[in-house]
Amino acid sequence: MAFVVLASVSCGAAEPVPPARVPVTSTTAYEKPASPAATPSPTAPPAFKAKVSNVSRDRLPYSWRPGCPVHYRDLRLITLSYWGFDGKPHTGELVVRETVTDDIVTVFRKLYGWRWPIKQMKLVDAYKADDFDSIEADNTSAFNCRRATGSSNWSNHAYGEAIDINPRENPYVTASGSTAHENAEKFTERPMKGKGVINPGDKVVKAFSQVGWEWGGYWSGAKDYQHFSKGGG
Q: Is 227 in the site for Zn ion (CB under 5 A)?
A: yes
Shortest distance, position 5 Cβ to Zn ion, whole Å = 60
**Residue 97 touches Zn ion, criterion: CB under 5 A:** no
Angle in degrees, 0-180, between the axes of helices 203-210 and 101-113, rounded to the nearest 10: 150
230 binds Zn ion (CB under 5 A): no
Name, in order, each residue with C-beta under 8 angstroms of 193's C-beta and a sequence gap of 6 or more. none
The 142-171 contact track toward Zn ion, x by CB under 5 A, reads --------------------x-x-------
Using CB atoms, what's the residue nearest to Zn ion?
227
Query: Residues 6 or more apart from 167 whose CB is under 8 A from it?
Result: 134, 135, 138, 139, 140, 181, 184, 226
Least separation in angstroms between CB 214 and Zn ion: 11
Q: Which range of residues in 1-9, 85-93, 123-131, 225-233 is near Zn ion by CB under 5 A?
A: 225-233
Per CB under 5 A, does 138 bind Zn ion? no
Instruction: Give the end-to-end CA distance of the chain in Å, rounded to a whole number.
Output: 51
CB of 167 to Zn ion, least distance (A): 8
Nearest Cα neighbor of 104 from 153, 164, 182, 169 is 164
Q: Name which of 8 and 137 has its Cβ closer to Zn ion.
A: 137
In angstroms, the CA 121 to CA 164 distance is 10
- Contact residues toward Zn ion (CB under 5 A) are 162, 164, 227
